[in-house]
Homo-oligomer: A and B are copies of this chain.
Amino acid sequence: MPEIRLKKTEIRAENESRILKSAERIFARHGFRGSSMRMIADDASIPKANIHYYFSSKEKLYRRVVERIFTVWLEAAASFETSNDPHAALHSYISEKMEISRLYPDGSKVWANEVIHGAPIIHDFLTSALEDWTNSRIVAMRRWIEEGKIRDVEPRWILYMIWATTQHYADFAHQIETLNDDKALSINQWQQARDTVFDIIWAGLEPKD
């Protein structure tokens, strides 16, 4: 069999990445308490004790998983430009969020699970990065309202609406698949769903003549 030699400390990076990937999948599927280190170890094809060599506790491993998710989320958040064109900004942001739901549903599920249970482990994320980002977008949207570029609505409820609708396709994927003859959404269906989400929201924001 061909030997793939791992040099130096590449071993650490490779193993940590493998464990984090398995942990995200297991945590998404079973929740924090419902996931055991044994399940994660088996998924990653690594002895359980070895996981504790890289991550000192289950909670620290979980936090690392959530941090990774939050990073992806923040990168997508950048696509919500605070430029002068709400149509482009919102279209870009909603499309990006739908893509994340399609490609990385596990991350969204872990996040949802955590928030549903009162965010016992990652509460600081909410009060720092998320709050800052939210407030800055609310300010930007208020400016759009003043400039007459969108209707006079409370920006907060619009943001929640965008989060809810886009993340729903990841968090409730099982329900959606069940209602889709037990099949995952096709590419066409994803596109149609994404377009519908944007069209509906934009129709509600577009200034009336």
Binding site for B on A (CB under 8 A): 28-34, 109, 112-113, 115-119, 123, 126-127, 130-131, 134, 153-154, 156-158, 160-161, 163-165, 167-169, 171-172, 174-176, 178-179, 192-193, 196-197, 199-205
Contact = CB atoms under 8 A, between A and B. Distances in A.
B29 A157 contact: no
A33 to B, nearest CB: 3
| Number of chain copies forming the complex | 2
B197 A116 contact: no
Nearest to A209: B209
Contacts of A32: 34
A174 B123 CA distance: 10
A32 B113 CA distance: 12
A118 B197 CA distance: 24
Contact of A116 (B112, B156, B160, B169): B112
The SS class assigned to the A binding surface is helix
A153 B195 CA distance: 10
Given A126-B178, A168-B160, A179-B130, A117 B196 contact: no
A47 to B, nearest CB: 23
Contacts of A30: 33, 117
Contacts of A119: 174-175, 178
A139 to B, nearest CB: 14
Contacts of A130: 175, 178-179
Contacts of A199: 153, 204
A21 B123 CA distance: 27
A53 to B, nearest CB: 26
Contacts of A118: 29, 174
A203 to B, nearest CB: 4
A113 B116 CA distance: 8
A197 B161 contact: yes
A66 to B, nearest CB: 13
Nearest to A170: B116
B134 A179 contact: yes
